[in-house]
């Protein structure tokens, strides 16, 4: 625009000067004054031409430099984002960038109790999963998630690439996209009670892959509990929060409920958080929780991996709802294991396709039953679980457990649960207390973040 104005002004002034010289020629004839005016006019015209030429050259060079800088800047940005990624430093995104990356949040990958996750591609071509956390009350979850995952780097943990905060609006977390979705779609039969979220990649994982997934998750938790600068408790270990990558490796995700714990602390006191069916009894009984609560949830997930079914389900009895019964899978596994009929608890689809190694199965069942011991101190640590699953140490037969409190912690509240003679929270707490649990078990927990399944 500026250039155009200057060019017009130059043309106008040159035209005016020429006109002036012509008028001078007519009125002054070939006098000395005319030659003086004509000389000055021509000099000015030449000067204007010279200025235009210099300006044009200067502009060309500037444009060249600008394009060079833009290209270099883009390359630098890509390189910078690559270096940040390698160093594990999350990038701050602008809301517009995320809208563009996700095509205006067009492809939903999954929805949990606190967030929706969308597929996207960011400017350097990386495929990402953008988690949108709505609501001011979820601010704490956003913080926990960033605090926990930003400092953790492990092949079996999802990688945080960036974040974005809109004042008063939603918060976003940008993760590596994990193409095969979550574990629930790979262990629970499609359309069954367990498969809530399965319009995504799904199938029936073979026994070998299930065993590998079990080890991967154990390694991730072992890293969080023992190898990070501060101990990280995940506190929401369940199949929906375990993702499966293109090589069928398990990737632990969703750190929204996680808690950082000093290495010298043995317990932390916090509000009940997690998902029914995976909550350890100490949430109700003891004064604080520890990494052993994650180990309990992990044991529950192991059982679901083995059985291909949710640990707790309601067995309907025809039309008569009053005759429906809650079936608690861990109890069945415990009984079958003691009767030496452990093969009967495996996902029947795996039995049909063959390939279940009975020795491995027995090992996983033992490990799972050790992990879900009601007394937290009896549960093995995550590094020992890895060793046991990898067959480097032998696993002893786990002690028999009553599993009375777990019933309560597992069952979904709701109209279907009413009138099923389920014990209430206080009764259970006293029952278990009387079996020598520490007297610290008060029931004044502010129940805050417990998701139904």
Ligand X SMILES: Nc1ncnc2c1ncn2[C@@H]1O[C@H](COP(=O)(O)OP(=O)(O)OP(=O)(O)O)[C@@H](O)[C@H]1O
Summarize the annotated binding site for ATP as residue ranges: 131
Alpha carbon 209 to chain centroid, angstroms:
22
293 C-beta neighbours (distance < 10 Å), count: 28
Radius of gyration, alpha carbons of the chain = 35
Q: In this structure, what is the dihedral angle of CA atoms 12, 13, 16, 22, given to the nearest 10 degrees?
A: -120
- Residues numbered 218-247 forming contacts with ligand X, rule: CB under 6 A: 236, 240-241, 243
Q: Which stretch binds Mg ion (CB under 5 A): 81-89, 111-119, 147-155, 261-269?
A: 111-119
Total binding residues for ligand X by CB under 6 A?
A: 25
Summarize the annotated binding site as residue ranges.
131
Judge contact between 37 and 20, C-beta under 8 A: yes
In angstroms, what is the minimal distance from the CB of 437 to ligand X?
29
In angstroms, what is the minimal distance from the CB of 350 to ligand X?
23
Please report which residue ranges of 223-373 form alpha helices under DSSP H.
Answer: 282-285, 291-307, 329-338, 348-353, 358-371
Enumerate the β-bridge partners of residue 108. 118
Nearer to Mg ion, 222 or 241 (CB): 241
Question: Which residues are within 8 A (CB) of 231 and not within 5 positions of it... i.e. 6 or more apart?
Answer: 224, 225, 260, 261, 262, 263, 265, 291
DSSP 271: -
Question: Which residues are within 8 A (CB) of 129 and not within 5 positions of it... i.e. 6 or more apart?
Answer: 109, 117, 118, 119, 120, 174, 175, 176, 177, 178
311 binds ligand X (CB under 6 A): no
In angstroms, what is the minimal distance from the CB of 133 to ligand X?
8
330 binds Mg ion (CB under 5 A): no
Q: Provide the mask over 144-173, with x wherever binding to ligand X is found by CB under 6 A and - wherever it is not.
A: --------------x---------------
Nearer to Mg ion, 109 or 367 (CB): 109
- Residues numbered 169-188 forming contacts with ligand X, rule: CB under 6 A: 175-178, 181-182
**CA–CA separation, 128 vs 122, rounded Å?**
7
Q: Which of 156, 241, 270, 293 binds Mg ion (CB under 5 A)?
A: 241
Nearer to Mg ion, 175 or 207 (CB): 175
Nearer to ligand X, 372 or 449 (CB): 449
Enumerate the β-bridge partners of residue 328. 312
Nearer to Mg ion, 131 or 375 (CB): 131
Find the helix packing angle between 207-222 and 358-371, rounded to 10°: 30
Nearest to 401 by CA among 433, 432, 428, 422: 432
In angstroms, what is the minimal distance from the CB of 242 to ligand X?
9
Partner whose footprint covers residue 253, from ligand X, Mg ion, none (CB < 5 to 8 Å by kind): ligand X
Q: Which of 115, 220, 280, 411 binds ligand X (CB under 6 A)?
A: 115
Partner whose footprint covers residue 145, from ligand X, Mg ion, none (CB < 5 to 8 Å by kind): none
Residues of the shown chain interacting with ligand X in the complex, contacts defined by CB under 6 A: 109-110, 112-115, 117, 129, 131, 158, 175-178, 181-182, 197, 236, 240-241, 243, 253-254, 256, 451
Residues of the shown chain interacting with Mg ion in the complex, contacts defined by CB under 5 A: 112, 241, 254
């Amino acid at each position: 625009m500026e250039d155009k104005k200057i060019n017009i002004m130059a043309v106008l002034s040159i035209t005016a000067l020429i006109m002036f010289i012509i008028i001078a020629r007519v009125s002054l004839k070939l006098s000395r004054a005319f030659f003086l005016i004509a000389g000055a006019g021509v000099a000015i015209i030449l000067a204007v031409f010279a200025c235009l030429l210099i300006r044009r050259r200067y502009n060309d060079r500037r444009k060249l430099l600008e394009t060079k800088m833009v290209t270099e800047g883009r390359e630098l940005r890509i390189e910078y984002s690559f270096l940040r990624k390698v160093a594990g430093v999350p990038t701050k995104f602008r809301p517009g960038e995320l809208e563009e990356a996700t095509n205006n949040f067009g492809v939903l990958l999954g929805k949990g109790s606190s967030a929706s996750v969308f597929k996207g591609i960011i400017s350097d071509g990386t495929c990402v999963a953008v988690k949108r956390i709505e609501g001011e009350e979820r601010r704490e979850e956003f913080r926990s998630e960033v605090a926990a995952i930003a400092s953790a780097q492990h092949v079996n943990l999802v990688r945080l690439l960036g974040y974005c905060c809109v004042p008063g609006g939603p918060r976003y977390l940008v993760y590596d996209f994990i193409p095969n979705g979550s574990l629930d779609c790979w262990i629970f039969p499609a359309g069954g009670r367990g498969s809530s979220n399965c319009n995504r990649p799904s199938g029936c994982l073979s026994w070998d892959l299930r065993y590998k997934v079990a080890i991967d998750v154990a390694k991730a938790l072992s890293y969080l509990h023992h190898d990070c600068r501060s101990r990280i408790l995940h506190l929401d270990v369940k199949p929906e929060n375990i993702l499966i990558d293109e090589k069928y490796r398990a990737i632990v995700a969703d750190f929204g409920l996680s808690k950082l714990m000093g290495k010298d602390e043995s317990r932390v006191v916090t509000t009940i958080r997690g998902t029914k069916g995976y909550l350890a009894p100490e949430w109700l009984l003891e004064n604080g929780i520890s990494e052993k609560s994650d180990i309990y949830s992990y044991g529950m997930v192991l059982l679901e991996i083995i059985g291909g079914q949710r640990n707790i389900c309601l067995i309907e009895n025809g039309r008569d709802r009053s005759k429906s019964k809650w079936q608690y899978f861990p109890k069945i596994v415990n009984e079958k294991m003691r009767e030496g009929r452990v093969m009967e608890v495996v996902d029947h689809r795996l039995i049909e396709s063959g390939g279940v190694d009975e020795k491995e199965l027995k090992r996983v069942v033992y490990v799972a039953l050790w992990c879900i011991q009601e007394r937290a101190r009896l549960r093995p640590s995550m590094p020992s679980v890895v060793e046991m699953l990898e067959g480097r140490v032998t696993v002893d037969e786990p002690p028999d457990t009553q599993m009375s409190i777990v019933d309560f912690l597992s069952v979904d509240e709701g109209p279907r649960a009413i009138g099923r003679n389920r014990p209430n929270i206080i009764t259970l707490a006293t029952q278990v207390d009387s079996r020598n649990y520490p007297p610290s078990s008060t029931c004044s927990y502010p129940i805050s973040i417990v998701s139904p399944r």
